[in-house]
Structure 1
Amino acid sequence: MMMRALHLSLDLTNSFDACVWAACCCAFWGLMRFGESGIVHFLTTVRSRSAFSPANHLTRSNAHALTDSLGKPYIRLDLPCAKTADPGKRQSVYISTGGDTCSKVDLDNLAQVCPTSPSSPLFSWRDGKGDVRPLTRDAALTRINSILRSLGWGNSFGHSFRIGGASYLLGQGVAPEVVRIAGRLRSLAYELYVHSFENVMSHHLSGVAR
């Protein structure tokens, strides 16, 4: 519901809004952190304009539109460095496509609204001077939360999209082990279940004989 509300509220012809929306979709469906300080995580934003580094963060060249062996399209994002990857090892996020919040459609829109070089930040936009700027965590969350507050909802935080995406998948009956692999988790984090436990319970336990 909140994803669709953001989709309707953001101006996807505006490079900043298009960037925010593409980041939201990839964070939600890819079970990615939206942004953190300190140690490098698999995230969609950076702390500041100067913090961006192609060695640590996603660039346009790290996004690949592919097709699996069954002929189904998907997005693969390759990050050079991630919290859950071994030192020096890349880690990939696999995102299915389709629906009205499709990451491929939104990344394609971002590329059209804000064309940049392959080495530019994947989630980048152009300011009033035409300069390319990476999406920062604070700017993105400020825009997102201004919309959510106007609709009477609470604030979104750095982990909200990752946890929200995992909770949604679990609530739709996706096996916890699949969610664990999709989210690149080394354990089944408890907080992923809390947000939709009633849905998980109904899906998995409603048919149990009484």
Structure 2
Amino acid sequence: LESLLENSLSPQTLATYGSGLAHWQSWCDSQGIPEDDCFPAPSHTLAFFLASISTSSTSKINNAMSTLHHWHEINGQIWHGNDPFLLKVCHAATSSLPSSPSLPPRPPVFPVHLFALQNHLDFNNTFDSAVFAVATCAFWGVCHLGELTVPSVTSFDATIHVSWAPGVMFLGSGPSPTCSAKFHVPWTKTTKFLGADICITVISHGSSPVLAMEHHLLSNRGLHGLLPLAHLFAYRTASGCLPMTKMAFNAWCTEVFMHAGFPAVYGHSLWIGGATEHLWQGLSIHLLKIQGCWKSDAFEHYLWKTDEVL
């Protein structure tokens, strides 16, 4: 059961919780608090701890409480975080902090951006071929960029990152050529380790994700047989193959977009633009939620200029 609860969290959240527990234990030691008053944590100890971090930030306070709540939950201990007095302390701590400035809405990527990529990239280059496959799949598949890329060239993990195995399933219609494709991502922000199947279809113009995927796999052919657990969007280099990192992808796309006269875009820009484009083309909110693996309507806050289609 404990293992299942741990698997419900992303690696980043687990790292945050690990750091939070270390901070809690360090604070308890500095205050001379006995072990029995650390785990499980009584409400008065939690209140003093909150007071000690009350000048930090709202996110730090919330993360600290979430960390300790999670520890109590997976260890079957009573959680006193809902004690009325403690809730007042928590509210007072967060209310006394200045409001964090909200980030402006991320500018979306639209098909015109994909056309700029297509015109600028060298499709005889394995890296460029992989970049275009990621861009079109993230846009038309309405994927978070982090579900298709890796944080660094050494951080690929087949349990959370999309890999060559089980591969991409291309589908046709009778004697017709390929008209759609499907591949599995093992982890998403909403489904966790249940993952999700990403479905892409042929688009009538050059930004078709299916054609981009086919070209990428052809350009980097052989990786599947040699490295079945390699990153799906890995590309060949003179020294071997490298997974597609989010930083490398964003840096190259930003350079292309700025060269074409577009403003800077961000990782979320692809799925924001893709979701908006699907709505403009008549896809229902219900089907869009399925495509984007959303469980609520919160994603609507990210969409641009969709009043006329919602």
TM over 0.5: yes
For residues 103-154 of structure 1, the C-alpha deviation after alignment (integer angstroms, 9 at most, x for no partner) is: 221111112211212322111112232x100000111111000011112211
Aligned to 1:49: 153
**Does the 8 A contact of 1:78 with 1:93 survive in 2?**
yes
Identity of aligned residues (%): 24
Counterpart amino acid of residue 9 in structure 1: H
Structure 2 CA distance, aligned partners of 1:68 and 1:190? 33
Q: Secondary structure at the match of 1:21?
A: helix
Structure 2 gap segments, 5+ residues each: 1-111
**Does the 8 A contact of 2:183 with 2:197 survive in 1?**
yes
Structure 1 segment 20-99 matched on structure 2, within 5 A: 20-35=131-146, 43-61=147-165, 62-67=167-172, 73-85=179-191, 87=193, 89-99=194-204
Aligned to 1:185: 294
Aligned to 2:118: 7
Counterpart amino acid of residue 110 in structure 1: H
TM-score by length of 1: 0.83
Q: 1:122 aligns with which of 232, 243, 252?
A: 232
**Does the 8 A contact of 2:181 with 2:200 survive in 1?**
yes
Greater C-alpha radius of gyration: 2
Which deviates further from its counterpart, 144-153 or 54-63? 54-63
For residues 9-66 of structure 1, the C-alpha deviation after alignment (integer angstroms, 9 at most, x for no partner) is: 111110010010000010001101112xxxxxxx111110111111111112332112
Q: Secondary structure at the match of 2:148?
A: coil
**Does the 8 A contact of 2:179 with 2:210 survive in 1?**
no
Deviation at 1:67, TM superposition (A): 4.3
Counterpart amino acid of residue 48 in structure 1: S
Deviation at 1:2, TM superposition (A): 0.9
Deviation at 1:83, TM superposition (A): 1.9
Structure 2 CA distance, aligned partners of 1:196 and 1:153? 18
Deviation at 1:164, TM superposition (A): 0.6
Query: Does 2:249 correspond to 1:140?
Result: yes
Q: How many residues align?
A: 190
Structure 2 CA distance, aligned partners of 1:143 and 1:109? 19
Deviation at 1:82, TM superposition (A): 2.0
Structure 2 CA distance, aligned partners of 1:33 and 1:90? 12
Structure 2 CA distance, aligned partners of 1:51 and 1:142? 18
Aligned to 2:284: 175
Distance 1:68 1:177, change over 3 A: farther
Q: Secondary structure at the match of 1:168?
A: helix
The structure with the largest helix share of the pair is 2
Q: Secondary structure at the match of 1:49?
A: coil
Aligned to 1:163: 272
Q: Secondary structure at the match of 2:215?
A: helix
Aligned to 1:150: 259
Deviation at 1:5, TM superposition (A): 1.0
Calculate the aligned-residue CA RMSD, in Å.
2.0
Counterpart amino acid of residue 171 in structure 1: W
Structure 2 CA distance, aligned partners of 1:17 and 1:34? 16
TM-score by length of 2: 0.57
Counterpart amino acid of residue 176 in structure 1: I
Aligned to 1:106: 212
